[in-house]
């Protein structure tokens, strides 16, 4: 899955290093907005992970979302754009938000499809 970050840099999801959490979202999704707000409130619980918020929305909408929820300038939070086709080819048809926790060895540890309590996510870290 190709990722384009807000600064224009590109990479592939398979090249991400360290413990990662991929959060697939859409900026206009109210479930995604609540989840982002909960993550921002509990950000210290995610300090061992890099959080990648990934959307197929235009970069300007992704950037606005990152600012709206106070996540834009956080050291362990990055926002990226991908294509719907890349999401479908990587994860299949999934609801938003969907969250995937990966180990430093790139092994999927846990996935959550649809809105989930952040407390449940934190228990899996």
Q: Phi first, then psi: what are they for 82, rounded to 5°?
A: -140, 180
Per-domain residue ranges for the chain? 2-9+25-123
Share of the chain above pLDDT 70, in %: 100
Q: Which fold has domain 2-9+25-123?
A: Glutaredoxin (3.40.30)
Q: What's the pLDDT tens digit per position in 6-50? A: 999 999 999 999 999 999 999 999 999 999 999 999 999 999 999
* Burial zone of 43 (CB within 10 Å; 0-12 exposed, 13-18 middle, 19+ buried): middle
pLDDT tier, 119 (very low <50, low <70, confident <90, very high otherwise): very high
Query: 75, 100, 94, 93: which is closest to 13 by C-alpha?
Result: 100
What tokens does 16 get? Answer: 């991400």
């Amino acid at each position: 899955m190709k990722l384009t970050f807000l600064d224009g840099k590109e990479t592939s999801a398979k090249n991400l290093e360290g413990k990662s959490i991929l959060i697939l979202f859409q900026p206009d999704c109210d479930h995604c907005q609540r989840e982002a707000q909960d993550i921002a409130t509990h950000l210290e619980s995610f300090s061992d992970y890099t959080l990648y918020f990934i959307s197929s929305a235009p970069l300007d909408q992704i950037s606005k979302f990152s600012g709206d929820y106070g996540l834009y300038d956080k050291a362990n939070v990055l926002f990226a754009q991908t294509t719907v086709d890349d999401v479908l080819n990587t994860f299949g048809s999934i609801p938003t938000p969907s969250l995937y926790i990966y180990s430093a060895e790139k092994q999927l540890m846990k996935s959550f499809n649809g809105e989930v309590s952040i407390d449940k996510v934190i228990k899996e870290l």
